[in-house]
Structure 1
Amino acid sequence: MPSYRTAPRSRPGPRRRSLLAGAAGVASAALLAGCSDSADSDADGRPSAARRLRAAAAKDSRELLRRYDAVLAAHPSLDGRLGPLRGEVKRHVEAFEKSTGGNTPSPTAPASPSGAPPKAPTPRVSTDPKTAVRDLAEAERELADRRGKALLDAPAEEGRLLASVAAAGAAHAYLLTEKEDDK
C-alpha cells in the first residue's frame, strides 16, 4: 500500500455534466419566459416599458407624417421632393404600429366623450416653401436626436428599430437641407 493518500475515484458534489445540464435548463427557461406574451405587460397589468416605447415612437412618427401632409397640402409643388420621404415616414408608422399590435393609444391624450381619440391639430406651415422644408428638416433632425437618446434604455428589438428609424430620419434631414445648400 502506498504511503500517500490517493484521490477518491469520484469527487463529492455535482458533476460537471449535471452543472452544465442545469445551466442549460435555466437558460432555456429564461428564454421561454422572455418570449411569452407577459413580456408586454408589467406585473401590475400596465404595458411594459418596451411596449410604451413603441407606442410613443409610433405617436411621434404619426405626428411627423402629419407635418409632411400639412407641408404637401400647403405646397403641392414639393410632392416630387417630399413624396418619397413621406412614404418612408408612413412605413415607420406602420412598423411601430405592427410591433405594438396596432394598438397605440396616446399615453397623454384623453379620449373624447364619443370614445374616439381626439384629432391632433394640423401643424402650422410657413407660406414660404423653403422655410416649410427647412422646418420639416428640423423636425426630422429633432426626432432623430430624441430617438438616438432613447436607444440608451431600449430593449434589443426596440433598439434596432429605433436605431434604423433614427438613421433614416437623420438622412431625411440631410436630404431636405442638401438641395437648399446646393442653390
Structure 2
Amino acid sequence: MRTSAVSFPSLLRRRSLIVSVASAAVLVGCSTGSDSAGSGGSTSVSARARARAARDSRGLMGQYDAVLAAHPALAERLRPLRAEVAAHAVAFEEGAASPTATASPSATASASPSPAVPADERSALAALAAAERSLADQRAKALLDAPGELARLLAAVAAAGAGHAYLLTKGDQ
C-alpha cells in the first residue's frame, strides 16, 4: 500500500482554500444587487430573512469562538472557517442601516450564554460540524421561499456550510 506524500495539514489547507475561494466568489456575485426588484412587498420579508440569517451566522461564530477558547490547539484549523462564517454574516447584513459586521471575536458577544464545548477536541469538532450541517440544512430550506438574490446567497452559504462540515470531520478519518 502506497502512502501519499501530501501531509494532512497541507491537504486540509488546500481543501479549505478551495472552499474559501469558491465561497468568496459566490458571495461576491450574490451579495450585490437588490432583493426587491419586482418583488413588491417582499422587501420586508427579505430584510427579516437576511437579519435572521445574519443572526444565525453570528451564533455559529460564537460556537467557533467557544471551541477556540476551549481548544486553542485547533486555531490553525478553525480560524479560516470562522473567518468565512464572519464573511457570511457580513454578506447577509449588507444593506442594513447599521451593520455590525466585523470578524473579531468580541463582535459575537450577546446576551446568550456561551455554548457548552466538549472537553475533547474530536467531540468539539464533531459538534461544530453538526452545527454547520444543521444551519446549512436550515438555509437550504429557507432559500425556497426567498427572493432571487437572497435565495442565491442562501444557497451559496448553505453549500459553504456543508463544505465546512466536511472539513471539520474529514481529519478524523
Matched, 1:96 2:92: yes
CA displacement, residues 99-151 of structure 1 (integer Å, 9 cap, x when unaligned): 434458xxxxxxxxxxxx96221111011111000000000000000000011
Identity %: 55
Root-mean-square deviation over aligned CA pairs: 2.3
Unaligned runs of 5+ in 2: 1-35, 101-108
C-alpha distance in 1, partners of 2:52/2:98? 13
Question: Which amino acid is 2:63 matched to?
Answer: R
Residue-by-residue CA offset, 1:79-110 (whole Å, 9 max, x unaligned) = 01111001100111111111434458xxxxxx
Question: Do residues 172 (structure 1) and 164 (structure 2) align?
Answer: yes
Q: Which digits, 9 at most, give the CA deviation of each residue in 1:38-75, with x for residues without a partner?
A: 96x77xxxx71111110100010000000000000000
1:120 aligned partner, one-letter code: S
The answer to whether residue 131 in structure 2 is matched with residue 151 in structure 1 is no
Q: Determine if contact 1:54/1:99 at 8 Å carries over to the other structure.
A: no
TM-score, scaled to structure 2: 0.69
Any idea what the Cα deviations from partners look like across 1:18-50, whole Å, max 9, x if unmatched? xxxxxxxxxxxxxxxx559x96x77xxxx7111
Structure 1 counterpart of 2:160, one-letter code: A
Q: In structure 2, what is the equivalent of residue 132 of structure 1?
A: 124
Once residues 129 and 153 of structure 2 are traced to their aligned partners in structure 1, the CA distance between those partners, rounded to angstroms, is: 21
Q: Which amino acid aligns with 2:92?
A: F
CA 174–99 in structure 1, closer or farther in 2 if over 3 Å, else same? farther
CA distance in 1, matches of 2:149, 2:118: 37
Q: Does 1 or 2 have the higher relative contact order (CA < 8 Å, sep 6+)?
A: 2
Give the partner amino acid of 1:161: L
Q: How many residues align?
A: 130
